[in-house]
Structure 1
Amino acid sequence: MKLVLICMSFVLTLATALDFRCYRLVKYGDCKGHYKQWSFRPSDKKCIEFDYSGCGGNGNRFWTEFECVWYCYALTIATAPPRSYRNFYY
């Protein structure tokens, strides 16, 4: 039981640390470059491709789709609120 609690606290701590990065809005940056980058969109729980300008921006920017999924999609699974289920009686 203690091991389960330790694992749960580790996952929640990790999720809290990554929360800022993955849930920020996409910032394209302030320069004039066009570099393909990936950003996590929490409303869809998807990583999307966008054109990064080369400077500015924020932490919600990844070089590859794999990196984006690795950091952010797993986070949405670990921190998803519990579902409410209706009780159906027959």
Structure 2
Amino acid sequence: MAKDSKSENISDPTVHLNKQIKEIEDELAKTKYNKATQGHIGRLKAKLASLKNTKTRGGGKRGWGYGLRKMGDATVILVGFPSVGKSTLLNA
């Protein structure tokens, strides 16, 4: 019994990603850029970038939480009415 192409595409996610990327690139190639289509083209380009990022990053499960790299200086602004303790808060 021969396998059909649909069952192969479901089992391999990279084949599905490649197919989606190819379809979006084809649609971008055939869509003319003008004022009426620029929003659609922008969405297609965003979707294409997202798919390519998923392809390079891999579709593995992520761990718990997230990391944040600390770099540069921070700027803090305290806004409020006069005589409410802004300076007291900074000096504490």
Q: Could you tell me the TM-score, scaled by structure 1's length?
A: 0.30
TM-score w.r.t. the length of structure 2 is 0.30
Task: Looking at secondary structure, tell me which structure has more helix per residue.
Answer: 2
Greater strand share, 1 or 2?
1
